[in-house]
Structure 1
Amino acid sequence: MRIRIVLTFILLATGLLGCTEQRATVAVPQTAQASFSWFEYQGSDPVFAEPLAPDQYQNPVVAGFFPDPSITRRGDDYYMAVSSFTYTPGVPILHSRDLVNWQLIGHALTRESQLDVSGARGSRGIFAPTLRYHDGVFYMITTLIDNGGNFFVTATDPAGPWSDPVWLPELDGIDPDIFFDDDGRVYIAHNGPPPGEPLYEGHRAIWLWEFDPKLQKVKASSGRIIVNGGVDLSKQPIWIEAPHLYKINDWYYLLCAEGGTADEHSEVVFRTRSLDQAFEPYEGNPILTQRDLDPSRPDPITTAGHADIVQTPDGEWWAIFLATRAYDQRFYNTGREAFLLPVSWQDDWPTILPAGETVTYRPVRPAGLDNHPVLEPLTGNFTWRDEFNQPALNFHWSLLRDFARQWLKIANDKLQVQPQAGRLSSLEPVSFIGRRQQHMHYRASTALTLSASGLSAGITALQSEAYHYYLGVRRSSNGTTIFLEQADGEGVDIIASEQLSVSGDTEIGLAIEGDKDKVRFFYQLDGETWLPLGGSFDGKLLSTQVAGGFVGTMLGLHSRLEKQDI
């Protein structure tokens, strides 16, 4: 019992992954659906197990796939935006009162008029946003790769609604930043091409443009390069990106990521007295990195960089940045996470972390900010459960390349999902919702019933269209089968299956357990006993180092049309 879908380099390169196989499906009534009774996620990482001291907070402050964080402040409230790539709704917006306890409050891009990621591969779509508050208005500026380029949206309430996009066709590149100077002028900085031909692979530049807020247009003749290559072009620095501009004590500061978003990632800083003058790099760069540390250290935090800073009412400066928690030195399935550290100053230069020091899991809390716990924590060990007893999907659920939700609804305390033909390995519309894996050690579980033959439904661990697991239940004329499907970058195989002696209305429990590089799968027929399907499987297939790209693993629910007899 084996399905093979060849995933060639050509299909990946052309975006036609999974679209070449013709699949004969049985005619399924439009009312056919999978009904999920609940979904539960439990995280239990040892680094989170020890209680915090009263003056400590937990890093990461936002665990799991919440990358490229940008932060802004309005009064006593802090807001964060992160990248979403091809997941919808786009650009999660988070809120905190103390910088360490964060709550997901909504998304900036919640409708098709704002975002079109149809047909996009998993690590395309929305790249790094910048979030800023100015004069009563929030601005979120970002890049839609492959289908529009750079744009911004605005809102008076960061929870939404947000405006339709204002497109910025003059900008050629990614990672835009918007900066409001104290003289009323507005600027946009971004990563873009260097002057002339690139001198080496990864040679990029930082561009600066003036923006007209009344016309909502970039001043076309204003663009110029302010950083070519990075801190020292003679050393061939790679991937200077993620610029953020600030004016502090009559200095203009430019923070950028450098070195790529993997093991060599870092944060660097430049400054100038005037935006009409050249930026000077800091002799103490990088001001944040973990690349020089022993990779065999216990519980390593790696890939630190891509920072944004904010000032508290007490005058302290704090940096939010991405990093990853690795196992086996450099593997991680949870994606790039959001960490917090204080900023120190010397001779009017900022430093986030002195050279050779490790990002700590339990730093001292920000002074002057009272503790404000949240209802649904995003770090530490916790259990999250959805009983599907609210009229709308919880904010933690994401869809894949899709805003058209006619295939799902919540009714009678069930999530009812109609199957589509699209498989997880394709770029077609797919019936899938997922929430982020936020721990190395986790358990995700659900219970479902199927209303008809000709479809399957189940639980999935999805890293990308080419790397994932799907634990599914299928009804056909031959009865009910539970199966485990694996996508390993070369194809999609059913690697375990069993026939089940159950009636059509039996509720079947499904579970995934992850333990760093191992993943196991279970099913339940009597509401009590969990039975394994197969043994232990390769969890590294769900890691960024194997799968590539920029996203983390999503754990969720899937249904699709199937052949009648397979």
Structure 2
Amino acid sequence: MRFNNPVVKGMYPDPSVCKVKDTYYLACSSFQYFPGVPLFESKDLINWKPIGHCLTRQSQIQLDKVNSSGGVFAPTLRYHNGRFYMTTTNDTTRQNFYVWTDDIYGEWSDPINVDQGGIDPDLYFEDGKAYFMSNGADDHGRGGIVQCQIDIETGCKLTPSRVIWQGTGGRYLEAPHLYKINGWYYLLAAEGGTEYGHMVTYARGPSPGGPFEAYPLNPVLTNRNLGGYEIQGVGHGDLVQDNGGNWWMLHLGFRQIGRWFAYHHLGREVFLTPVTFGENGWFTAGDNGTTLSCFETDRIPEEVVQNEKKSDTFENTEWDKDWCYLRLPRSGNYSFERNRLTLKGTEISLDQADTPTFIGIRQRDFNAVITCDVSLESGEAGITLYMDENHHYDFAIRKDENGYKVIERLNIGDIKSIEKAVDIHHSCASLIIRSTPNAYSFVVQVDGKEIHLGTAQTKYLSSEVAGGFTGVMIGLYAYGEGCLAEFSNFKCEYA
């Protein structure tokens, strides 16, 4: 059969996967968004359904006034003796921790901290022992992939932290995962930075602590130096074996907005790549070590169909699974119905690293039409294309002393400009945003007429301009004390 990449679209970076019986489970990073660490399940590795989050209580994660791209970094999801474990980092507090659950569809435990630094923590279980790994420095300050044994009940270290591998020489060695396959212990990692030089490397050894020998042909997977190729930034992978005994890698990558236009704003997404073990015990990945936008494979039955969701609406999404907030929301400011959303504004704006009244869903493709009916009596409310507090495009209705206006405001770094404002005679309007790979256009529909306010280039919401590790969220927001806004008929339709 033929499947297309990415298999999970939109800003879902740093995927980690585990398999329980015939079901695969996937966890991804969430950074400053709440709930934290989104979860998916699949029966075939290509169709993934959101099932919830690991961090659903504010007591589980400190996100108050966390800057964009801070907060919850790369998770590892593992299953051992009937229990799921998710270990991750709050990069803002520099604390590694894990949570656990016996029901992946239910609540997770309170955090259990581990006194080992670095980020991208990993758990490996064997013979009653729990090994904890991260990138960072050991107890003597030596850098690399660091490992210790922990008491899985308490998180307390049972052995000193020591470096077990220092990679192949690429910068930003990270994302360690340990596996035992056919008698060898394989240590997977990422190097090169989560950008255009990103790559997957690995080593193998005779024990969980090594010594580890690097794969002679590292990197095993990378799309670096592929000029004119849409998929870039390939790295940060996790291995999983399917029911047929075949091996796969779920990993991140991103789609740049044009073959020769090196910007990306959808964020880092989830890609699937086949892995093949050779007779010598080393494995290869992808198409000559690269990830493709489309793979032909006989590993997935022909009757499996890759289903792609072409629209998001209030009715076909779930508030607690598909949508998320900025940092720690004030629940009293949100009222949900099946086809309507009511938001109560505050004096906290989208420009602050704080908790504005905002709920967002990830933009999943370049070509889209976003529509929503918005009404309010005071303040400001509308749609924001949100990258971070310094980079977002706002399309909104605003009430001032002269009446109601629809505004197009561009926020690019220190430049914050209302590009155009048009007067309307009502407190409600239909807002329309048309998206292409290169630009957003803003149109308001009032009294059956469409008024075009302007356009804005997508590249100014890209990681190359804004920095950080996130992607564009389609956010609905309200601003201003006393603002009470209603949103209805929301739809994001992808071409």
- Tell me which interval the TM-score lies in, with the shorter structure as reference length: over 0.9
Give the counterpart of 1:532 among 432, 435, 452: 452
Give the counterpart of 2:284 among 347, 351, 355: 351
- Tell me the equivalent position of 1:316: 246
**More displaced stretch, 314-323 vs 206-215:** 206-215
**AA in 2 matched with 1:488:** I
Listed one character per residue, the Cα deviations across residues 186-205 of structure 1 (whole Å, up to 9, x for unaligned) are: 1011010378778xxxxx51
Give the counterpart of 1:557 among 476, 479, 482: 476
- Tell me the equivalent position of 2:396: 472
- Tell me the equivalent position of 1:193: 137
> In structure 2, how many angstroms separate the alpha carbons of the residues matched to 1:412 and 1:73?
33
Of the two structures, which has the highest relative contact order with CA contacts closer than 8 Å and spacing of 6 or more? Answer: 1
Give the counterpart of 1:382 among 302, 306, 310: 310
> In structure 1, how many angstroms separate the alpha carbons of the residues matched to 2:478 and 2:232?
36
**AA in 2 matched with 1:59:** N
Contact 1:93 1:159 in 2 (8 A): no
- Tell me the equivalent position of 2:493: none
When residues 356 and 178 of structure 1 are mapped into structure 2, their CA distance, relative to the original with a 3 A threshold, is: closer
> In structure 1, how many angstroms separate the alpha carbons of the residues matched to 2:302 and 2:138?
43
Q: CA RMSD in A?
A: 2.2
Spell out the pairing of 1:422-441 with structure 2 (5 A cutoff): 422-441=348-367
- Tell me the equivalent position of 1:404: 330
> In structure 1, how many angstroms separate the alpha carbons of the residues matched to 2:359 and 2:221?
35
**AA in 1 matched with 2:85:** Y
Contact 2:2 2:294 in 1 (8 A): no
**AA in 2 matched with 1:307:** G
**1:159 Cα deviation (Å)?**
2.0
**1:354 Cα deviation (Å)?**
5.1
Contact 2:231 2:253 in 1 (8 A): yes
**1:563 Cα deviation (Å)?**
11
Structure 1 residues without counterparts, runs of 5 or longer: 1-54, 199-203
**1:511 Cα deviation (Å)?**
1.8
> In structure 2, how many angstroms separate the alpha carbons of the residues matched to 1:484 and 1:253?
52
> In structure 2, how many angstroms separate the alpha carbons of the residues matched to 1:118 and 1:462?
19
Give the counterpart of 1:129 among 60, 68, 75: 75
**AA in 2 matched with 1:135:** N
> In structure 2, how many angstroms separate the alpha carbons of the residues matched to 1:306 and 1:482?
42
> In structure 2, how many angstroms separate the alpha carbons of the residues matched to 1:162 and 1:361?
36
Give every structure 1 segment of 4 or more consecutive aligned residues whose post-TM-superposition deviation is greater than 6 Å: 194-198
SS in structure 2 at match of 1:285: coil
Give the counterpart of 1:117 among 63, 70, 74: 63
- Tell me the equivalent position of 1:338: 270
Q: Does 1:218 align with 2:157?
A: yes
- Tell me the equivalent position of 1:180: 125
**AA in 1 matched with 2:311:** T
**1:214 Cα deviation (Å)?**
4.0
Give the counterpart of 1:287 among 201, 204, 220: 220
> In structure 1, how many angstroms separate the alpha carbons of the residues matched to 2:27 and 2:290?
27
Contact 1:244 1:256 in 2 (8 A): yes
> In structure 1, how many angstroms separate the alpha carbons of the residues matched to 2:305 and 2:281?
32
> In structure 2, how many angstroms separate the alpha carbons of the residues matched to 1:356 and 1:411?
48
**1:417 Cα deviation (Å)?**
0.4
**1:353 Cα deviation (Å)?**
2.6
> In structure 2, how many angstroms separate the alpha carbons of the residues matched to 1:371 and 1:325?
25
Sequence identity, in percent? 36
> In structure 1, how many angstroms separate the alpha carbons of the residues matched to 2:125 and 2:209?
15
Give the counterpart of 2:5 among 59, 78, 82: 59
**AA in 2 matched with 1:288:** L
SS in structure 2 at match of 1:541: helix
| TM-score between both structures, scaled by the size of structure 1 | 0.81
Listed one character per residue, the Cα deviations across residues 94-128 of structure 1 (whole Å, up to 9, x for unaligned) are: 00000000001101001111112110111000000
**1:88 Cα deviation (Å)?**
0.5
**1:515 Cα deviation (Å)?**
1.0
Listed one character per residue, the Cα deviations across residues 283-324 of structure 1 (whole Å, up to 9, x for unaligned) are: 01110001132x124xx2111010001111211111100011
> In structure 2, how many angstroms separate the alpha carbons of the residues matched to 1:563 and 1:104?
35
> In structure 2, how many angstroms separate the alpha carbons of the residues matched to 1:358 and 1:162?
34
When residues 193 and 432 of structure 1 are mapped into structure 2, their CA distance, relative to the original with a 3 A threshold, is: same
Listed one character per residue, the Cα deviations across residues 464-485 of structure 1 (whole Å, up to 9, x for unaligned) are: 1110101110123311011111
> In structure 2, how many angstroms separate the alpha carbons of the residues matched to 1:162 and 1:372?
32
Give the counterpart of 1:98 among 21, 44, 62: 44
When residues 68 and 430 of structure 1 are mapped into structure 2, their CA distance, relative to the original with a 3 A threshold, is: same
Contact 1:117 1:147 in 2 (8 A): no
**AA in 1 matched with 2:336:** I
SS in structure 2 at match of 1:406: helix
- Tell me the equivalent position of 2:432: 511
SS in structure 2 at match of 1:57: strand
**AA in 1 matched with 2:445:** Q
Contact 2:94 2:118 in 1 (8 A): no
| TM-score between both structures, scaled by the size of structure 2 | 0.92
Give the counterpart of 1:445 among 371, 375, 386: 371
SS in structure 1 at match of 2:460: helix
Give the counterpart of 2:190 among 251, 254, 257: 257
Contact 1:107 1:160 in 2 (8 A): no
